Amino acid sequence: MNALNNFFFIALPYMALVIFLVGSIYRFTYKGFQFSSLSSQFLEGRKLFYGSVPFHWGVIFLFLGHLIAFLFPREVLAWNSQPVRLMILEITAFIFGISMLVGLVNLLVRRYTTPRLKFVTNKMDLVIYLLLIFQTVMGLWIAYNFRWGSSWFSTLLTPYLNSIFTLQPDITVVSLLPLTVKLHIIGAFVIIGLIPFSRLIHFLVPPIDYIWRPYQQVRWYWGRRKVRSPRTPWSVQRPKNN
């Protein structure tokens, strides 16, 4: 049992994190062309709405929720000190969880019932769908059966995750958790480890800078004024176009 716990809660997280880091950087540097998700809306443009939209908003909310509980446990606990606020948080999270699950199921069904999509789907897509569905179901199950996860996450799991990130893994608490919670944790790390090999990679390049970028972009290959000026040398730095 101990060996298993050690493997799943110490070895697996480190493996996943290293694979995620190295793999993502490698893919960004050497496989830049593939650093995106292969959109299939062009081949099927209606059913996608009922999958993609609920899934994405759900997953974003829940991802940020987990992240905040990890980064600011004290604030979350303070927020939860009033039952009404705790209820609001938990119910919202649960709704987003359901939205995510509905979205995922719709996506899965869409992908395997639309003939055209077979040709833009690979095996990894199926793995990811199944893993994410598993993960969401586990999450909902936990939220329903072990109430007030936002509170006990902050007290139980945040220290564990901290111990991982500070390289002093301490698994005494996690090894005592119920099986479903354990599976949820394991699922999370497996997904993290698969990011560089799947379409999930696109979450690393959200187009945030679009918000402040000017609409129009004009690029010069050479500093245009510099090229003409006799005072500057011809070895001017080339701006990078591609």
Cα 54 to Cα 101: distance, rounded to the nearest angstrom: 8
Instruction: Give φ, ψ of 168 to 5 degrees.
Output: -125, 70
Closest to another protein by CB, 46 or 74: 46
Q: What is the closest distance, in whole angstroms, from the C-beta atom of residue 55 to another protein in the complex?
A: 8
Q: CB neighbours (10 Å) of residue 130? A: 12
Q: What is the closest distance, in whole angstroms, from the C-beta atom of residue 71 to another protein in the complex?
A: 24
Q: What is the closest distance, in whole angstroms, from the C-beta atom of residue 67 to another protein in the complex?
A: 19
Closest to another protein by CB, 83 or 234: 234
| Token pair for 109 | 């069904």
Q: 127 and 50 in contact (C-beta within 8 Å)?
A: no
DSSP structure class, residue 166: T
Closest to another protein by CB, 107 or 185: 107
| Token pair for 205 | 């390049």
Closest to another protein by CB, 63 or 146: 63
Say how many CA atoms lie within 13 Å of 43 toward its Cβ: 14
Closest to another protein by CB, 31 or 147: 31
Q: What is the closest distance, in whole angstroms, from the C-beta atom of residue 202 to another protein in the complex?
A: 6
Give residues in contact with another protein (CB under 8 A). Answer: 31-45, 48-49, 52-53, 55-57, 115-116, 118-122, 124-125, 197-199, 201-202, 205, 207, 209-211, 213, 215-228, 241-242
Which is nearest to 92 in space by CA: 61, 67, 126, 71?
61
Q: What is the closest distance, in whole angstroms, from the C-beta atom of residue 104 to another protein in the complex?
A: 13
Q: What is the closest distance, in whole angstroms, from the C-beta atom of residue 129 to another protein in the complex?
A: 13
Task: Find the Cα–Cα–Cα–Cα dihedral 164, 96, 55, 111, rounded to 10°.
Answer: 110
Residue 213 class from Cβ within 10 Å (0-12 exposed, 13-18 middle, 19+ buried)? Answer: exposed
Instruction: Give φ, ψ of 212 to 5 degrees.
Output: -105, -5
Closest to another protein by CB, 36 or 155: 36
